[in-house]
Structure 1
Amino acid sequence: MMETVEQFLEYLEVERGVSPNTLAAYATDLSQFHSFLKEERAFQRWADVRRDDVMAFLLFLKERKYAASTVTRRISAIRSFFAFLLQEGKLRQDPTEGIELPTVARRLPRVLSMEEMDDLLELPARSNSPIALRDRAMLELAYATGLRVSELVELKLGDFNLAAGEVRVRGKGNRERIVPLTETAAQALREYLELGRPHLARNAEQANLFLNRRGRPMTRQGFWLMLKKYAEELGLDDVTPHTLRHTFATHTLRRKADLRSVQTMLGHASIATTQIYTQLATEQLHESYEEAHPRAKE
């Protein structure tokens, strides 16, 4: 069971950009929950956990006089973990559904400015090597579509219609959606397919679009390390694959895109998840106004 926890922690680090301290706290929280299930409930599989088991753990924590903030974090970690299992198709239902916790102020996600995003996209464009062409195509595609990194690295050669300017994406729950491409992203993909990928592919039957130096499919970890390298070169902190997704949504809404359309492109089941980006877009608009207007700071 703990192997699955390790996979979850890797997902948090690579795709969500969670800090080392938070990762350590989640590891402790889930380890305690795992021990409780084995010792008190005799469970061997996460798929067997039900809402009553989570409630029993909640009572277990309260009886031992844990602080309310600690209890909230424990259950939040468990909730995030089961959401991950659902996303990966390892569960059919969420045992934490309906369990209420005190409301905690939500931290707004990190978003790059348009200038920072332009600088990031320019870095791999300085070279025409196969790796640089791949990197530019991946970054342009991530920014143009807002794909999750797991969706990005799983793309296949047959998922694109460059003439129509669109890509077919398999998202959470294996749901498919069609996402439009910018001409810039489409051109970066053409150059990678024509001049980059043929030098990376070792096997003609390899269907994955993005390949590493060994001709194998790119991984979430591989993309994260590539992005981290470019971000550090620009002096940008806390840039993760999910930062590009946040940036896509915020910049698109700032350009007056329809909220429902952005929800569809992001693959959000609920529009409430998408609405946080309207706040980010408004904040960035105010910042730009204050920097640009001659009387804004008077």
Structure 2
Amino acid sequence: MAQAQDTTVDGEGDESVIIVTGTSLRGEQFQAKAPVDVFTEAEIKEAGFATITDLVRNIPANYGSEANVASFTQNNTLGTAQINLRGLGLGATLVLINNRRMTFSGTFANDGSQFVDINQIPLSLIQRAEVVKTGASAIYGSDAVAGVVNFVTRQDFDGIEFDGQFQTTTEDSQEDITLNFLAGFGSDTTRLTLAGTYFDRSELRFTDREFTGRGTEIEIATAKPGSFVLLAPPQNPAFAGAPVRVPLVDPSCTAAGGNPIQTPGGGFCQVSTRDQFALVPSEERVALWADLRHEGPGGFGAFLEASYSESKASLPRCPERVRRVP
């Protein structure tokens, strides 16, 4: 319904003003507010996070991600961090940066799915993190079944900022070194923001701690060195007369520091393999980010975002004494 009224404007003639008090336009019938958690820059600093991985671990709705330091829960994902809202899978959460999709990591998760490695983002660059904890696939697509996480970067920072952290828990523990920097320059129309993170973590082996290094018994190894089974009569004269389908002691057992034993079920090599495993693998990571923005006349604007990241993670190599002897 509309009603016309006459009005007089100073210096001008009569004008008709139409005031709309109601329309027959159909409104949205199904509107609902999605629950959103926001982690601000101040909250991130007050929490004392060293890396963005620490931030991810503290998102209440995030569980099931492979962003751990234990080498037993991560295989191809060593050195990476992901978001897994409500445990629906690493590929079910959409990750955005400044409202744009981030690229997938070059590796894949234990279940074969692709994911976004958020270790590509320097922590000093984050202004806030917005977490939509409900499914948003109707808006964003199937990669947002579990929800959406949007990282908003700092674009108005002016100056240079450095910080570093050194973390260790006990005398026999890994050591973490983290270095962050942030720099911002420019004018009212053009701004350049640079950010970077360097992270280095030392290795922690089973044998570095007494209660994990000694064990309760000596393991019986079945490979490298250990035992093997012949599936057919051997062609090699060195194994002439060896029984078929019965475990045989690896010839390298003694040279590797093991103890050959014979049981009714066959021969085995009794050797400790604890020094071949790590509680925490070593990691080294570099993440760099550059953001250039320009605002021209008439509302024209342009921006350029560039990032570089390199991550290395390694498990302990097999010691010389347990390598197979020719």
Query: Which of structures 1 and 2 has the larger relative contact order (alpha carbons within 8 angstroms, sep 6+)?
Result: 1
| TM-score bucket (shorter structure) | under 0.3
Flag the structure with higher helix content.
1
Q: TM-score w.r.t. structure 1 length?
A: 0.20
In terms of fraction of residues, the more strand-rich structure is 2
Q: Which one has a bigger Cα radius of gyration?
A: 2
